[in-house]
Amino acid sequence: MSADTLRMIDVVKRVHTEGEPVTTIDLDLDRIDDLEEAIAVLRDAQRHAAAAHIVANVAGARVAQLLGDGGAVRIGDDIWRYTHESVETCIDPVAVADLLTRMIIDGDLTVIDIVNPNSVKRGAISGAVRDTFFERTKRAEPQLSKTPIDRAPKFLQTLTDGETHTATV
């Protein structure tokens, strides 16, 4: 990462924290008159943003591991919660669509034309159908999910910035 990019990141962290929009003047980018130089700055920033995103995802997986099932932490105005280590996916979407089509639609349009079986609200589907057409697999790494503080469960809304909640068994 270039020294210029690091300096610009420091400026953005300071200005953004103050709630003001960041401008080309703030980052001293107004001095650039050469298109190729401006493109180079853009590419450098995009490359580092992608790397920072990967670091954030991996750090999030580690935080999830350390929080454990039911754990949560408040970071700023968001609650980050451990998400379960499994995901349920449809193993036979065509059969599910055919079943739902017979149950709901009598015509030429099938449910699979309008619905992704992995997006179906599974609570409305019987356990037998779920057991037949869906399977639960473990994720390689635990993950975090972000929820705005005002949409989090009441017992988590009382957390202060940086405070954690661990599940009690």
Domain borders along the chain are 32-84+139-165, 86-138
Distance in angstroms (rounded) separating the CA atoms of residues 132 and 117 = 13
Q: How confident is the model at residue 85 (pLDDT cuts 50, 70, 90)?
A: low
**Cβ–Cβ < 8 Å for 123, 37:** no
Residues 21-77: tens digit of each pLDDT: 888 888 889 999 998 998 898 899 898 888 988 898 888 888 888 888 888 999 988
Asked if the model's pLDDT at residue 169 lies above 60, the reply is no
Confidence (pLDDT) at 74: 92
Q: What are the phi and psi torsion angles at 136 (to 5°)? A: -105, 125
Q: How confident is the model at residue 98 (pLDDT cuts 50, 70, 90)?
A: confident
